[in-house]
Structure 1
Amino acid sequence: MDVVLPCLNEAEALPWVLTRMPEGFRALVVDNASTDGSARVAADHGAVVVAAAARGFGAACHAGLSAAGSEVVCVMDADASLDPAELPALVAALAGLEAGGGMGLVLGRRRPAGRGAWPPHARLGNAVLARSVNRRAGTRLHDLGPMRAARRAGLLALDVRDRRFGYPLEMVLRAARAGWRIAELDVAYRPRTGTSKVTGTVGGTVRAVRDMRRVLAEAGP
C-alpha cells in the first residue's frame, strides 16, 4: 500500500518517519524542491522518491497520488508529527466505511501528544475551517487532518484542482458532495521535527487559512 509524503526540507524528520513505516506500506516521498538533501535521505531509507515539478502542498500531493500504484493510498505529513504506525488503523476504518458499498475517506483527527504539538493559533484556524466545511458539506468533522486514507482511483476522479494549502479542504468538499462516507479516527499529534512551514508559525497558518478560504469561496454555499 502506498503512502504519499509531501516533503519540503524534511531531511531531519524523514529517518524517524520512514523507519516506522508499517510492513506492507510503501513510502512515496514527494520532493517539492527541497534544498536540504531530503531526496537523498529518503532514498537512503528505502523510500521511492517522486519529484514534484510544481511547488505547493497540493502539487506535491497530486504528484504522489499520480505516481502511486496501490488501490488504497494514504497521505500524511513527513515532519514526524504523525506516526506511520497508525496508518493500518485508518485503512481498517476505511474498509469498514466501504463495507456497505460506495466510496469512503478516513481522516486522522489530531490529538496533541506533547507540549507545543499544536499551537493555539493553528488549532483555532483549523476549527473555524472545519465548521465552514461542515455547514457546506453536511459533515461532522472536527479536524481537516493531514493523515488520510482512501481509494486512489476515487481521489483522482474527484479532480481536486487546488495545488496549494487548499488541497486537503477541497478534497473533503468534493468527496462529501460526491456522496462519499467520511469518518475521523483519533491519531496522536506530536511536536514536529525541524522548522515548521505552516502550523508552527502565525504567517504559515495565515497562508494556509487564506488558501482554504479561497477554496471555500470558489465552492459556493
Structure 2
Amino acid sequence: MHDIRVIIPAFNEEKSIAQVIGAIPDTVNEIIVVNNNSTDQTASVAAEAGATVLTETRMGYGYACLMGLNYVDKQSKTPDIIVFIDGDYSDYPQELPKVVAPIIKEGVDFVIGARVKSLREKGSMTPQQVFGNWLATTLMRLMYGAKFSDLGPFRAIRYDKLKELGMQDKTYGWTVEMQLKAIKHRLAYVEVPVRYKKRIGISKVSGTVKGTIFAGVKILGWIFKYGFK
C-alpha cells in the first residue's frame, strides 16, 4: 500500500471543508488541513471531521501549502505521494484514486487533475479563469514545449520528486511554479480529466478583481521568469 497524504489549504471554508474531508477515500493515510488565518470555524470543523489541522497566519495559498509540507517533512515516516486539493468542494475528492493511479500503476511522477470543459458544471469556472488557464498553458507550450491544458489545484506528485522541486511561491503562483519546475526537472507527468462543480462560497481569487489581477500577474511572472533563465 502506498502512503498518501492530502494537503488542503483552507481560508474561511467552514461550509465546505467537512464535505471535502468526508469524500476523500479511506485509502489516504492522513488529511492535513492548513487553516490559512480563517475568521470562521474552518479549523474546528476540519478537526471534528477527522483532519490534522495546522495554522498558517501568513495569508497566501503557497504559504499554506508550504506549511503542510513542512509538517510532513518532520514526520518519522514520510509519504510516497502528496495530493493537493482545494477546500471549497469544487473538485470531487472521491476521484482521488483516478488522480494517483498513473503514479501507482504507470510510474508517472506528477499528475494534474484537468478540469476539462466536458466534465465541468456550467458556471463552475469564471470566464477569467478559463482565459487565464488558456493563456498560461499556451505560453508554457510555446516557450517550454509543455503539454499542460490546466493549472488545476487537484494534483498528485511523488513526495521525493516534490522535494526536488524546491517550491518557493507563497501566494497564487504555487500551481504554475510546480508545473514549470516539473518541466525543468524532467518529471514524467500526465493530465487526468476530472469533474468540476461550482464551489461553495465565494472564490478568494477569481471572485474579486484584486485577486484575479494579482493571480494573473504572479502566474505570468513565473512563466516569463523561467523564459529568461
Class of the TM-score when normalised by the shorter of the 2 chains: over 0.9
- Does residue 60 of structure 1 match 2:64? yes
Q: Matches of 1:51 and 1:137 in 2, distance apart? A: 36
Q: Matches of 1:183 and 1:201 in 2, distance apart? A: 31
Query: TM-score with structure 1 length normalisation?
Result: 0.92
The equivalent of 1:184 in structure 2 is 191
- Does residue 44 of structure 1 match 2:48? yes
- Does residue 72 of structure 1 match 2:81? yes
The equivalent of 2:75 in structure 1 is none
How do residues 50-129 of structure 1 correspond to structure 2 at under 5 angstroms? 50-68=54-72, 69-98=78-107, 104-111=109-116, 112-129=119-136
Query: TM-score with structure 2 length normalisation?
Result: 0.89
Q: Contact between 1:97 and 1:104, CA under 8 Å: does it hold in 2?
A: no
Q: Structure 1: which 5+ runs fail to align?
A: none
SS at match of 1:163: coil
- Does residue 143 of structure 1 match 2:129? no
Q: Contact between 2:103 and 2:158, CA under 8 Å: does it hold in 1?
A: no
Q: Contact between 2:129 and 2:206, CA under 8 Å: does it hold in 1?
A: yes
Q: Residue 118 of structure 1: CA displacement?
A: 0.7
The 4+ residue runs of structure 1 with deviation greater than 6 A are: none
Letter of the 2:6 partner, please give it.
V
Letter of the 1:33 partner, please give it.
N
Q: Matches of 1:97 and 1:200 in 2, distance apart? A: 37
Q: Residue 97 of structure 1: CA displacement?
A: 4.0
Superposition CA RMSD, Å = 1.5
Q: Structure 2: which 5+ runs fail to align?
A: 73-77
- Does residue 13 of structure 1 match 2:20? no
Q: Residue 53 of structure 1: CA displacement?
A: 4.4
